[in-house]
Amino acid sequence: MLKRLPERATFFRGITAWTGVSRTSIEFEVPPAARATRWSVLRLAKLGIDAITSFTPWPLFLVAGAGVFFAIFSILLGIDTLWMYFSGRAVTGFTTVILLTLIVGATIMFGLAILGLYVSRLFDEVKARPRTVALEVLLPE
């Protein structure tokens, strides 16, 4: 079944867990000469990123959440900036620059989150994983 999946960048540990096939472990003793890993920190980081991005869109949801947080923070800071402006304590031009920066930043963050979620959906479709996995096929005799 794993051979028929059209994915090119396959994270094997995740795919085997995704299929739902029961797994077992085999304990063994590693010889002392083989205990040093041949994996560099960069390769381990890439493996971790592959594991996360192959099976969950949560990093994109985190960006969307950061966009919401940034927008709320921008609104509160914008209210404070307008309060300073109308009370006469703001530096000339500061209010305009801050409000424009906050509005543009929040808009860009929301736009990136929306694009990211669409790309996530597209990525799921391109992977073309089957919706269900049959562990056993029963044919009439």
**Number of domains present in the structure of the chain:** 1
Q: What does the pLDDT average to over 55-70?
A: 82
Q: Is the pLDDT of residue 126 over 90?
A: no
With CA atoms as reference, report the closest residue to 72 among 45, 97, 109. 109
Residue at 13 is within a domain = no
Is position 45 within any domain? no
Q: What is the percentage of the chain residues whose pLDDT exceeds 70?
A: 75
Q: Is residue 9 part of a domain?
A: no
DSSP string for residues in 21-87: --------PPPGGG-S----HHHHHHHHHHHHHHH--HHHHHHHHHHHHHHHHHHHHHHHHHHHHHT
pLDDT grade for 42, boundaries at 50, 70 and 90 = very high
**Domain range for residue 81?**
57-135
Confidence of residue 87 (pLDDT cuts 50, 70, 90): very high
Residue 41 placed within a domain: no
